[in-house]
Amino acid sequence: MQLLEERIRKDGKVFPGNILKVDSFLNHQIDVRLLDQIGEEFLRLFAADRIDKILTIEASGIGIACITAQHFGVPVVFAKKTQTKNIAADVYTAKVESFTHGKVYDIIVSKEFLHPGERILLIDDFLAKGQALLGLIQLVRSAGAIPVGAGIAIEKGFQEGGELVRQTGIHLESLAIVESMGGDGSICFRH
Amino acid sequence: MQLLEERIRKDGKVFPGNILKVDSFLNHQIDVRLLDQIGEEFLRLFAADRIDKILTIEASGIGIACITAQHFGVPVVFAKKTQTKNIAADVYTAKVESFTHGKVYDIIVSKEFLHPGERILLIDDFLAKGQALLGLIQLVRSAGAIPVGAGIAIEKGFQEGGELVRQTGIHLESLAIVESMGGDGSICFRH
């Protein structure tokens, strides 16, 4: 998606350790007009997949998921990262290792909100090592629902997540795939 | 807001300890059409306040904030609850005590995304003891920005948060104020 690539080139910041910060428009400050264009693009890419519900993971996936859901006319469910006393015990759960935070956490979704046979589109802002997305796929399957597709804003193409998710056979669409980042702040995209 | 009160009566669940769960449409599963109507109502209520930016707090405020921001035509910033290595050290911070989780945490916003003189609308899904909202107000003021208003979906009127926030002089609008909840699951609203 050219618009997103241009925005990453313009406002993304590259830091040592292959860190790409897009805090100014995607996951701390959010440009909701850009999200609207991302949502429109996801609808174009997944229009044939008859999506019943969008599933994301807190926190930075929620904005993209909600605005994308407006385009699809379906509800959003977001997986939570820790078990609070306000969550019923009756949940689907998966373990996820976080590259960013250097720890393992549980993701949970109430059994009320995932049902057998539902066609689920997974949405997230980033795909790097793929652990969060693989956890979501596992959650959806444990509910008997169908992880039809995954829509990602930015994939780090030099990490293994994209390959791992593509191996599952799920229809994966990443709107911008970063092939490499240079020490001078330059960014190359895969096309 | 009658539509929201009706939805709370229909789909909200009351649990012992004054817990009101609205997980099925507001903060686990999200009805984005309802959020769109909430955003439209916030625009009506705060139209005269010349809002530059919307600030919320992860995670459950993000959906409402993003869809409300579409109505205002402004960006969203969401405060984060813990310091990750992807956040610059250069942040505004406040401490918040969580009633739900029984702990104290830091909320942070990068100094890049709050500027002196900016007119900020705070958005969140719930107002109970008010600690999160008071923390956000403190953050905005420490940036030299102006916390013009606060838009809340559901206020628990029997807890002190609403009073504490109103005492700050900020223009607070809660779309549904729960006055009391009964052991039989009944819910009374303030009008």
* Mean pLDDT of the region B84-89: 56
What's the ipTM?
0.94
Contact status, residue A18 vs residue A45, Cβ threshold 8 Å: no
The torsion angle over the Cα atoms of residues A105, A69, A122 and A81, rounded to 10 degrees, is 0
- Partnered with residue B29 across adjacent β-strands are A77
pLDDT for the residue B84: 54
Q: Which domains does chain A have, with CATH numbers?
A: 2-181 (3.40.50.2020)
- Go through chain A and tell me how many residues it has: 191
Answer yes or no: do A21 and B86 touch at CB < 8 A.
Answer: yes
Average pLDDT of chain B, as a whole number = 94
Cα separation, A105 vs A103, in Å, equals 7
Find out whether the peptide bond into A79 is cis, omega within 30 degrees of 0. no
Site from B29, B56, B80, B125 to mutate, A interface, most A CB atoms within 10 angstroms? B29
Q: Which pTM does this prediction carry?
A: 0.95
The torsion angle over the Cα atoms of residues B49, B5, B184 and A113, rounded to 10 degrees, is -100
Count residue pairs from A and B with Cβ separation < 8 A.
Answer: 116
* Mean pLDDT of the region A53-57: 98
Chain B residues 10-29 within an 8 A CB cutoff of chain A = 19, 21, 23-24, 28-29
Site from B19, B22, B23, B32 to mutate, A interface, most A CB atoms within 10 angstroms? B32
**pLDDT tens, position by position, A19-31:** 999 999 999 999 9
Query: In chain A, what residues touch B76 (CB-CB under 8 Å)?
Result: 29-30, 32, 63
Site from B15, B51, B86 to mutate, A interface, most A CB atoms within 10 angstroms? B86
pLDDT greater than 70 at residue B47: yes
Answer yes or no: do B58 and A58 touch at CB < 8 A.
Answer: yes
* Mean pLDDT of the region A164-179: 97
Q: At what angle do helices A32-46 and A2-11 cross, to 10 degrees?
A: 150
Find out whether the peptide bond into A59 is cis, omega within 30 degrees of 0. yes
Cα separation, B161 vs B147, in Å, equals 16
- Go through chain B and tell me how many residues it has: 191
